[in-house]
Structure 1
Amino acid sequence: MGARNSSHQENAARKHVAMEGNKDQSGGDVHVAVEVTGSAYGSHSSPLPVYLKFEDVKYKILLKPKHKISWRFVKPAIVVPTEKEILHGVSGSVAPGEVLAIMGPSGCGKTTLLNVFGGRVSQANVTGSVTYNELPYNKSLRRRIGFVAQDDVLYPHLTVTETLMYAALLRLPNSFTKQQKIQRVEEISIQLGLERCRDTIIGGRFLRGISGGERKRVCIGHEILIDPSLLLLDEPTSGLDSTIALKVIQLIQSIAQGGRTVVTSIHQPSTRLFYMFSKVILLSKGQTIYYGKAAEAMDYFFSIGLSPAMAMNPAPDFLLDVANGNLDAISIPPALDISKATKTIKNEIAEGHLARKEFLQYLVAKFNLGTVMQENNKQLESVFFKEELKEAILEKQEWSTSWWQQFYVLLIRGLAERRHEDLGSHRMFQVTAMSIIVGLLWWQSNTQTENRLADQVGLLFFISMFWTFVPMFMAMHTFPLERAMLAKERASNMYRLSAYFLSRTLGDVPMDMLLIFTFITIVYFTTHLRMAPQAFILTLLTVILQTMATQGLGLFLGATMMDVRKGTTLATVLMHTFMLTGGYYIQHIPVSIKWLKYLSFNYQSFKLLVKVQYSANQRYSCSSPEGCSINTSPSIHNVQLGGGGAEAWALLLLFVAYRILGYVALRRMEIGV
């Protein structure tokens, strides 16, 4: 219902919005007229117009203090934390139908500025004004903003059609039927020129799939499925040849002409690409040294006394030389010619740094003193927005699909992605091989003597130990390996985190059940454990419960650390601690750390397995003519036979508690939003 109401309000806003004759900073006319009566996502409609305006934007980060060791005094010395300013008062604007390019050398703040526009940085670190139709950023804007990151974050084993289809099922509202969503994917595929590779897998570093240009177009298609009002792209031509780069920029230009506001960062475009942009911001060390029409950039720098010192690509190469402070390739005004004859290399380096610093100060001063920003500010103030457009921006949008739909799509997508993995067959080989080895070692074991009983109890402890280590380390890899994808999709509000968590943790359950059943079946009958259906079923259930609980701890560690190496280190310490306190190696634990055994999966599952296999009235051969009761045997390590409910409930509690902690840790994960 929320999606329909929002769509109707947007359509009403579009009917009344007309922005014509708004002049850009350099005096040219920009005609933007939007009149739409169709669906918000339909093929014959334009997205809700969004006018992006940013004034004096500054962004700072706090550098964490480093602890250094002073060898003279052999004690840590604390360095006072410092702030680093990434952006220094960047201003400008971009309207629907325009493409704004952010240019500059590496590290100048291009990606940071895009993240500020997309609301993907902490707002506490941002000063200045960034508005969308004269309104500040709010969470309801997330689904109106498409963000294409520089790195292509896609599932490698899914095909192009599957990738877009799963995105459509998650992002398009319930007002769309499944057939309409399929049609939307077809339209996007045709628009992006992906028809020929629709059934080809995405591929990856070591997996052959579609080309780099096609991957980039798939990423763009992933975002324009929802008809975003504002499309942000981080270096979309990076790593592409000139022909493919041209096609990508032409695609971006056509997207803007459909009524969208587009901002893209780009490092070093060709001349042909450069002049396709409506506006350009040139940054140097986070400061603006040019903002205006791409076609007028050279004229501006000529006007302040700068020109190429040699034959070169007239616009992009020259502009990057200016932004980098490459004074050898630029003819500069005599007032700035501070080069002097130097005697040593050290002096040359020092003077070169000083020259670049003064050169940047000159560029910033010229830009700030010019009429460029004054004219721009006047025009920004003259832009008029209808109240309907503002209300549409503020309209709170409900989730596109229900929780159950999100869970189902994510579950099916996860299974489809992992269907080509060799991990399942590797795990099956691992479990089968170990079960055969265990079966041969404990072949036809029995409880006739004390030594035989001790051997069989050792088998039970190995079972509990094996199904602690394997599930733990497998589960720990779950979230770190999908961190990039999770961060990308959560930043776009594609689904609830709870739906993802449950679908991801339940996706491997069928394989886990198969592995446990295979292991227990082979081991149980080859080692001749208690031959009773009830005992077999209870043993199987015990191992399943222990595995689920152990996986919970693995998921918690993975979500907390988000680093496989750090998680493995901590998991190894925890697992060995749980193993040592598991009731097999030591029974008399010091009181101060005795509580550790109650957190041990091995302790609870080992006791439960012993209670399942033996009863107090069982006897074995010993020095007594009547035999000895198993209940008094030291081989069972002081386990009180009978019952088992307490241990089962303890495992169930650990299963629930660790999964809750894992979910909380995942929710607190920094995803750049």
Structure 2
Amino acid sequence: MERQASGSDRLDAVIDLIGPHTTDIVPIDLHVDKLSYTVTDVPGSWWQKITNIQMPWEWMEKGKTTEVLKDVSFTAKSGQLMAVMGGSGSGKTSLLDVLACRTSSGVVTGDVYLNSVVRTKTILDSCAGYVRQDDRLIAFLTVRETLIFVAQLKLPRTFNRAMIRNRVDLVIAELGLTQAADTKVGNDSIRGLSGGERRRVSIGIQLLILPSVLFLDEPTSGLDSFTANSIIKTLSRLASKHRTIIMSIHQPRFDIFNTVDTMMLLSKGSIVFNGPAKEMVNYFTSLGYPCPEHMNPCDYYIDLTTVDNTSPEREDRSLAVVQRLHEAFKSKQEEHTVVDLNKQEAIDTDVLKGPARWSKVLFNTLQGKRVTEDDTLQNLIDAMERQRASPGLGIQFFILFRRFIRVTLDDYLALLTHVIQALLMSLLLGLAYISLKLDQVSIRDWFGVMFMMSVMYPYMVILGLIGTCHEERRFIYFELQDKLYHPAALYFAKVLSDVPFHLVYVLIYIIPLYFMAGLSMDAYTVCMFALFVGVSVFTSRCLAMMSAAILPTYQIASFFSQTLFSLFIMSAGFLINLRNIISETRWISDLSYLRWGFQALCLIEIKNLKFQCDEKSPSCVKDGNDALLTYALEGGELWQCALGLGGTMIFFLIVMFLGLRFVPQKPHNE
């Protein structure tokens, strides 16, 4: 399918696609020519093998090559709702992923055009939206808050607060969500929207940029028949406003079939029918496969084009039917190719005769720099992208920071759980070490309370935070895929939004235990003690977030962090005397932030103590320095402990950022 145009025509056509949107929808026809998609199950990188729980001897196994799509050609016209139908494994979702430039692997061949412009990811991101099969929404936000949050990140930075709110209100009204606008999204445990309303919110997120093309992966999945029909009617209404809407659907009921404008039926990656939905039954009837009376045509023809693997005989028979249907449609398609090409060429020529919709806008916004025919297509795309650029890193950080704070405050149950956890842990330890004495028998208890302060609550923090990060990955991965924000903005927002709550929890943990144990009331000692406990607990939070970022699997991240934490506990200097650690493993103690935190607390509280001592006893420990010598903690300075603790924390934070930046945060079950 040759679709070449002159230099100026191509530039104008691109401007027409990616120009600054008003409330008008730019009509775009999507043309697909001989599209094929081949996937090879490659071994992947080392961390993928670990997170997929593969053994080393499986790493070198050669993957199987599968042709997912085979010579797919069709045209999706603006103003129409197109349904891609087929059985499981027919290639429906893969087709949408390829069209939307969302494939992460495999080889794609063939051409895709938006009107007369070759599709690129940059252009597509500016004029198309993609709605996934399941809803990735934050349960604690309302419909309006959800849309405003996305709009602040997605719309051009030239949009002020009033313009953003108007766009959100427009989308809410268009989707019939006005009555539910201030209702929380909810989930299985939080009362909120119905399944159909959540699906409308997911669609609304993509409608914020007023896309001309909208892809939806099984939008009726998991919905009852009435709600599914309502969603399809909404999509049909959206399509009637000059949008091109392509959706995959598994088994639509008859009223949904009647609502769809164009139906495509896929089988084993090939088209066996594509045309007006109302012509599908007549087409198959002409081939000798009439739909039985009182049966849903969609159900019947999906069954007809699905390979039956229950027995070799049935498999051969069904494969023969599929092959015959594919060849019949291919012959029909070849007959109409020449006519369709001539007709489309005439349409493109007519479109390109006049000035482009956004040419004047472009010339006025490029600071007086005139665009000529000598400018490359990519330069023009880059220029237009700069004009409609999304908010910068600073604004992205501020928006994400507010969202993390808001979600944390609204999760009352989690807040209460953290408070009770810190308070209960403090009270239990306080009862165990209540009113410490200065006799010889109590010396070990002094070191015990310092050790328990260093490790008990941090351990609980790691367990809880990895689970939280795992839940957040459900929507973070897809927000990053949609380029809503930069990983750096997410990183700083996530880390810094934890700090206020971290300070509250640490104070709740420290205060009861500190007074119950009868520790020093000197102001400097109290402040330094609280500082080192706080940094030690926060370093544990960093360890948990790092593990979750570099190992996007809950089980593996939990195992990794707990194993590392256990090594740090054993080498901290309390369970095993530092002198007794063999030289080959002493480096673990030097890297253990728990050792540095424990040693710092001992230096702060124990170093200046005077113990009751019987002068006649040769093994009497007279003061804190002698006690520190017993545990091989003598000779250290607070600044060394601060350096070891802070260095470990910074290392965890750096690795966490690298994980967010370079390791796909895809949930393990996706």
With the shorter chain as reference, the TM-score category is 0.7 to 0.9
Equivalence for 2:82 = 100
Cα contact 1:57–1:89 (8 A) shared by 2: yes
Distance in 2 (CA, whole Å) between partners of 1:107 and 1:612 is: 65
Counterpart Cα distance in 2 of 1:213 and 1:556: 36
Match of residue 432 from structure 1: 423
Gaps of 5+ in 2: 1-7, 50-56, 358-376
Asked if 1:294 corresponds to 2:256, the answer is no
Q: CA deviation at 1:110?
A: 0.7
Of 240, 246, 267, the match for 1:257: 240
Q: Which residue of 1 aligns with 2:36?
A: 58
Instruction: Give the drift of 1:506.
Output: 2.2
Do the aligned partners of residues 617 and 552 (structure 1) sit closer, same or farther apart at CA in structure 2, a change above 3 Å counting? closer
Shift of 1:463: 0.7
Query: Pairwise mapping of residues 106-505 of structure 1 onto structure 2 (< 5 A)?
Result: 106-122=88-104, 124-133=106-115, 134-313=117-296, 315-324=297-306, 349-371=311-333, 374-375=337-338, 376-380=340-344, 384=348, 386=352, 395-397=384-386, 399-418=389-408, 419-446=410-437, 448-505=438-495
Identify the range of structure 1 (623-632 vs 417-426) with the bigger mean alpha-carbon deviation. 623-632
Q: Matched residues in 1 for 2:155 and 2:327: separation?
A: 48
Gaps of 5+ in 1: 1-8, 18-33, 68-74, 327-345
Partner SS state of residue 220, structure 2: coil
d(CA) in 2 for partners of 1:360, 1:231: 29
Question: Compared with structure 1, are the counterparts of its residues 518 and 580 closer, same or farther at alpha carbon in structure 2 (3 Å cutoff)?
Answer: same
**Preserved CA contact (<8 Å) 1:583 1:603:** yes
Matches of 1:619 and 1:42, distance apart in 2? 79
**CA 1:565/1:421 → structure 2, altered by over 3 Å: closer, same or farther?**
farther
Please state how far the C-alpha of 1:531 moved relative to its aligned partner: 2.4
Taking the aligned partners of 1:120 and 1:513, their CA distance within structure 2 comes to: 41
**1:616, distance to aligned residue in structure 2 (A):** 6.0
From the superposition, tell whether residues 114 and 573 of structure 1 become closer, same or farther in structure 2 (CA, over 3 Å). same
Q: Which residue number in structure 2 is paired with residue 670 of structure 1?
A: 664
Counterpart selection for 1:609 from 570, 592, 601 = 601
Residue 633 of structure 1 aligns with which residue?
627
> Take 2:653 and 2:634, find their aligned partners in 1: how far apart are those partners?
30
1:574 correspondence with 2:564: yes
User: What's the offset of the Cα at 1:642?
Assistant: 5.9
Q: After the TM superposition, which of the residue ranges 194-203 and 381-390 deviates more from structure 2? A: 381-390
SS in 2 for 1:89: strand
In 1, the alpha carbon distance for the partners of 2:207 and 2:58 equals 52
Structure 1 Cα separation of the partners of residues 402 and 136 of structure 2: 19
Match of 2:70 among 70, 73, 88: 88
609-618 vs 551-560, greater mean Cα deviation: 609-618
- Mapped to 2, the partners of 1:204 and 1:242 lie a distance apart of 21
1:349-387, Cα deviation, whole Å (9 max, x unpaired)? 322111001111111111222245624455555552649
The amino acid that maps onto 2:262 is K
Matches within 5 A, 1:537-556: 537-556=527-546
Deviation at 1:309, TM superposition (A): 4.2
In structure 1, how many angstroms separate the alpha carbons of the residues matched to 2:381 and 2:15?
A: 14
TM-score (norm 1): 0.84
Q: Per-residue displacement from partner, 1:22-69 (whole Å, max 9, x unpaired)?
A: xxxxxxxxxxxx9x9xx94443x224x4332222222222235699xx
Aligned-residue offset at 1:123 = 6.0
Query: Please, which moves more after superposition, 640-649 or 352-361?
Result: 640-649
User: Residue 620 of structure 1 contacts residue 630 of structure 1 at CA under 8 Å; is this kept in 2?
Assistant: no
The DSSP-based 3-state class of the residue aligned with 1:659 is: helix
CA contact (8 A) 2:425 2:457 kept: no
CA displacement, residues 149-175 of structure 1 (integer Å, 9 cap, x when unaligned): 110111112111221121222222221
Aligned mates of 1:427, 1:197 — CA distance in 2:
31
2:367 is matched with none
Conserved? CA contact 2:142–2:182, under 8 Å: yes
CA distance in 2, matches of 1:633, 1:311: 89
Answer whether contact 2:552 2:665 (CA < 8 A) is retained.
no
Tell me the number of residue pairs that the alignment of Structure 1 and Structure 2 aligns. 614
Identity of aligned residues (%): 26
Aligned-partner SS, 2:519? coil
CA 1:366/1:627 → structure 2, altered by over 3 Å: closer, same or farther?
closer
Shift of 1:129: 2.1
Aligned Cα root-mean-square deviation (Å): 3.1
Distance of 1:220 and 1:563 partners within structure 2: 28
